[in-house]
C-alpha cells in the first residue's frame, strides 16, 4: 500500500493578503500569498499532487505566526527549518536567492552567472517563478536587467511593497548574519519526484 505524504497547512491574514503556510515532514515546504482562499489551496494541491492536505487553525500555530512576522516585518528572521522540493537546477537558483541581502536587488542574468549557467537567464526565471516559499526565499529581490520590476508570482504590487519595506529596514543594517542563518545548510533538499 502506497502512502502519501501529509502536509499540514494554515491560512490566515497578513499585511499582503491571505497567507498559506504548509509544513511537511522536515519543515516549511510552502509559503503562498493570494487574495482568495480557494486559489491558495488549489496552488498548494497543484504543487504537491500526491500529498494529503490537512488544514490546521491559525490560532496558536507558532510556525504560521513566525512566517507572518517575517512577511510583515523584514527585520524578522525565520528560525524554522525549510523543506524545498524542486529539481537540482531549481534548488541551485533558490540557493542563490537566499544569498541576496535584504535591501538589495539583482537581476536574472546575474543569478545565472552566480550559479555557473550564464546563458540560462530564461531557465533561471522559470526556476524563480516556481519558488514555493514566498518572501523567505526572496525571489522578489530579482529585477529585470534594466532595473524595472518584472512579474512576481504573487503580484507586482506585493513585490514593490516588499522591496520598499526591506529598503527602509536595511538602512544601517548588517545583513550578513541574516544570510548565514537562512543559508542553504538549513534547507532539506527534497528531489523533484517528491512534488508529483
Residues designated catalytic? 139
Q: Look up residue 118 and give its three cell numbers.
A: 550564464
Closest CA to 43 of 68, 63, 25, 17: 17
Instruction: Find the helix or strand (DSSP H, E) in which 157 lies.
Output: helix 156-169
Which residues have C-beta within 8 Å of that of residue 77, sequence separation ≥ 6?
70, 178, 181, 182
Q: What one-character DSSP code corresponds to residue 132?
A: S
Q: What is the CA angle 56-62-63, rounded to 5?
A: 80
Exposed, middle or buried by CB within 10 Å (0-12, 13-18, 19+), for 67? Answer: buried
Amino acid at each position: 500500500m502506497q502512502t502519501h505524504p501529509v502536509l499540514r497547512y494554515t491560512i490566515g491574514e497578513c499585511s499582503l493578503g491571505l497567507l498559506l503556510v504548509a509544513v511537511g515532514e522536515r519543515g516549511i515546504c510552502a509559503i503562498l500569498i493570494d487574495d482568495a482562499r480557494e486559489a491558495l489551496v488549489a496552488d498548494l494541491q497543484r504543487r504537491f499532487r500526491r500529498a494529503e492536505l490537512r488544514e490546521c487553525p491559525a490560532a496558536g500555530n507558532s510556525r504560521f505566526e513566525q512566517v507572518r512576522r517575517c512577511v510583515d516585518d523584514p527585520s524578522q528572521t525565520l528560525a524554522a527549518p525549510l523543506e524545498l522540493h524542486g529539481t537540482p537546477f531549481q534548488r541551485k537558483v533558490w540557493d542563490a536567492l537566499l544569498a541576496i541581502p535584504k535591501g538589495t536587488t539583482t537581476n536574472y542574468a546575474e543569478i545565472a552567472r552566480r550559479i555557473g549557467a550564464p546563458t540560462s537567464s530564461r531557465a533561471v526565471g522559470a526556476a524563480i517563478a516556481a519558488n514555493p516559499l514566498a518572501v523567505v526565499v526572496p525571489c522578489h529581490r530579482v529585477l529585470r536587467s534594466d532595473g524595472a520590476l518584472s512579474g512576481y508570482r504573487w503580484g507586482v504590487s506585493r513585490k514593490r511593497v516588499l522591496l520598499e519595506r526591506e529598503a527602509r529596514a536595511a538602512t544601517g543594517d548588517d545583513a550578513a548574519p541574516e544570510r548565514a542563518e537562512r543559508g542553504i545548510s538549513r534547507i532539506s533538499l527534497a528531489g523533484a519526484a517528491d512534488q508529483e
